[in-house]
Amino acid sequence: MSKKKLLLISNSTMAGKPYLEWPKQFIADFLNKHKVKEVVFVPYAGVNLSDESLEESYNVYEQRVAAVYAELGFKLKSVHRSENPVELMRSAEAVAVGGGNTFHLVGKMHETGIMEVIKERVEAGMPFMGWSAGANVACPTLKTTNDMPIYEPGSFGALSLVPFQINPHYLDANPEGHGGETRQQRIEEFLAVNRGTKVVGLREASMLLVEGKTIKLLGSRNLRLFEFGKEAVEYVSGSDMSFLFNK
């Protein structure tokens, strides 16, 4: 019987709103339900040009997220401060994986050894939440990210906590004068090569709540589901998406 507890969020910020404001109540409800007091944060997607170093980027990211979690009554500490990231993850109550660059995130998760231990702990019941790149990393691979490959990870393989792929920040728009591929066309390219995989176009202001073998679409936007050789299908907020566990 599956013990998974996942909150997979498309985005952290909405235009005109503070950081993590829109999913804040969902995060609080998720952590309170599972009686979590302290969360271990994975900041490796945070790559900021304005910071003096990557270490400083992680520090700034940790502070930003910790401030929001403190408002909700939860403690947060970042894995980048630990001398033994694997052991920290082995003892964590819950994990949160922040958004940013998915290639850098996956690379560092493999290099530090936390990829395997997070997977092991989450499958045993540890609550997991991630937004943007942090939602993408819950999938089998990073191949449906929107990010530029600024870093070469040892593997594109991710956590495989769900059997489908997520495309966070999914956009329907095709700007006037734009001659490149739309997001849908990019996903269709992926499906042409990976024909047995489903891809969830997770629009901003939406998320997936996974509890065991059940999946529910939360938030205020529809989800778009892509499969090879089929028309894309829209699902409204509140939909039971548990069938996504069926291969």
pLDDT at 70: 98
Which residue out of 82, 110, 160, 169 is catalytically annotated? 169
CA dist., res. 199 & res. 165, Å (int): 5
CA dist., res. 112 & res. 101, Å (int): 17
**Helix, strand, or coil here: 214?**
strand
CA dist., res. 97 & res. 121, Å (int): 14
Q: Tell me whether residue 19 is in a domain.
A: yes
Residue 240 among the catalytic residues: no
pTM recorded for the entire structure: 0.95
pLDDT at 75: 98
Which residue out of 10, 57, 147, 206 is catalytically annotated? 147
CA dist., res. 127 & res. 95, Å (int): 7
Q: Tell me whether residue 167 is in a domain.
A: no
DSSP string, 186-199: HHHHHHHHSTT--E
Looking at residue 136, which CATH number applies to its domain?
Answer: 3.40.50.880
Q: Report how far apart, in Å, the C-alpha atoms of 147 and of each of 153, 155, 167 are.
A: 13, 16, 11
Which residue out of 10, 57, 78, 132 is catalytically annotated? 132
From the list 202, 197, 195, the residue with the least C-alpha distance to 234 is: 202
Domain of 157?
5-162+204-219+237-245
Neighbouring-strand partners of residue 226: 199
Residue 80 among the catalytic residues: no
Residue ranges of the chain whose pLDDT lies below 50: none
Q: Tell me whether residue 194 is in a domain.
A: no
From the list 162, 166, 169, the residue with the least C-alpha distance to 214 is: 162
pLDDT at 48: 78
CA dist., res. 82 & res. 78, Å (int): 8
Residue 51 among the catalytic residues: no
User: DSSP character for 244?
Assistant: G
C-alpha dihedral, 202 to 203 to 206 to 208, nearest 10° = 0
pLDDT at 37: 98
Q: Tell me whether residue 176 is in a domain.
A: no
pLDDT at 229: 96
Count of domains forming the chain: 1
Chain segment 43-95, per-residue pLDDT in tens: 999 987 666 788 889 999 999 999 999 999 999 999 999 999 999 999 999 99
Q: Tell me whether residue 81 is in a domain.
A: yes
